[in-house]
Amino acid sequence: MSNMEDAWKPIAGGVAAPQGFYAAGVQAGIKYTDKYDVALVFSQVQAQAAGVYTRNLVKAHPLYLTQRHLR
Protein backbone atom coordinates (compact mmCIF):
# COMPACT_ATOMS: atom_id res chain seq x y z
CA MET A 1 0.00 0.00 0.00
CA SER A 2 1.38 3.41 -0.96
CA ASN A 3 1.40 6.47 1.29
CA MET A 4 -1.50 7.89 -0.74
CA GLU A 5 -3.58 4.76 -0.13
CA ASP A 6 -2.82 5.05 3.59
CA ALA A 7 -4.20 8.61 3.60
CA TRP A 8 -7.62 7.62 2.18
CA LYS A 9 -10.00 5.61 4.33
CA PRO A 10 -13.56 4.71 3.30
CA ILE A 11 -16.28 5.94 5.65
CA ALA A 12 -19.72 4.47 6.22
CA GLY A 13 -22.33 6.41 4.27
CA GLY A 14 -19.96 7.48 1.49
CA VAL A 15 -20.25 11.04 0.19
CA ALA A 16 -23.58 11.49 1.98
CA ALA A 17 -22.11 10.64 5.40
CA PRO A 18 -21.91 14.24 6.70
CA GLN A 19 -25.15 15.52 8.19
CA GLY A 20 -27.18 17.49 5.64
CA PHE A 21 -25.63 15.89 2.54
CA TYR A 22 -27.56 13.71 0.12
CA ALA A 23 -26.34 11.82 -2.94
CA ALA A 24 -27.82 9.80 -5.78
CA GLY A 25 -26.58 8.14 -8.94
CA VAL A 26 -28.35 6.78 -12.00
CA GLN A 27 -27.59 4.67 -15.04
CA ALA A 28 -28.46 7.29 -17.66
CA GLY A 29 -26.92 5.39 -20.57
CA ILE A 30 -24.65 8.29 -21.55
CA LYS A 31 -21.64 6.08 -22.20
CA TYR A 32 -22.63 2.58 -21.11
CA THR A 33 -26.09 1.16 -20.51
CA ASP A 34 -25.14 -0.82 -17.40
CA LYS A 35 -23.00 1.66 -15.44
CA TYR A 36 -23.81 4.59 -13.19
CA ASP A 37 -22.82 7.67 -15.17
CA VAL A 38 -24.70 10.59 -13.60
CA ALA A 39 -24.36 11.66 -9.97
CA LEU A 40 -25.84 14.40 -7.84
CA VAL A 41 -24.54 15.51 -4.45
CA PHE A 42 -26.74 17.98 -2.57
CA SER A 43 -26.03 19.97 0.57
CA GLN A 44 -28.77 21.60 2.63
CA VAL A 45 -26.39 24.42 3.54
CA GLN A 46 -23.78 26.37 1.57
CA ALA A 47 -20.69 24.21 1.05
CA GLN A 48 -17.40 24.20 -0.84
CA ALA A 49 -17.30 22.37 -4.18
CA ALA A 50 -14.65 21.34 -6.69
CA GLY A 51 -14.64 19.68 -10.09
CA VAL A 52 -12.32 17.74 -12.36
CA TYR A 53 -12.93 18.30 -16.06
CA THR A 54 -11.85 16.97 -19.42
CA ARG A 55 -9.01 18.67 -21.25
CA ASN A 56 -10.70 17.80 -24.53
CA LEU A 57 -11.33 20.84 -26.76
CA VAL A 58 -14.85 19.61 -27.52
CA LYS A 59 -17.05 20.22 -24.47
CA ALA A 60 -20.81 20.16 -24.05
CA HIS A 61 -22.62 23.25 -22.75
CA PRO A 62 -23.47 21.63 -19.36
CA LEU A 63 -19.74 21.31 -18.70
CA TYR A 64 -19.17 25.02 -19.34
CA LEU A 65 -22.13 25.83 -17.08
CA THR A 66 -20.76 23.67 -14.27
CA GLN A 67 -17.31 25.23 -14.59
CA ARG A 68 -18.86 28.70 -14.38
CA HIS A 69 -20.85 27.77 -11.27
CA LEU A 70 -17.73 26.52 -9.49
CA ARG A 71 -15.64 29.64 -10.14
Distance CA 21, CA 46 (A): 11
- Residue 4 phi, psi (nearest 5): -65, -45
Quick: pLDDT tens for 11-69. 888 889 999 999 999 999 988 889 998 889 999 999 888 888 888 999 999 899 989 98
Query: How many domains would you assign to the chain?
Result: 1
Domain contains 68: no
Domain contains 30: yes
Query: What's the first-to-final CA gap in the chain, in angstroms?
Result: 35
Domain that holds residue 20: 16-45
DSSP H stretches of helix in the chain = 3-7, 61-69
Domain contains 20: yes
Domain contains 40: yes
pTM metric for this prediction: 0.61
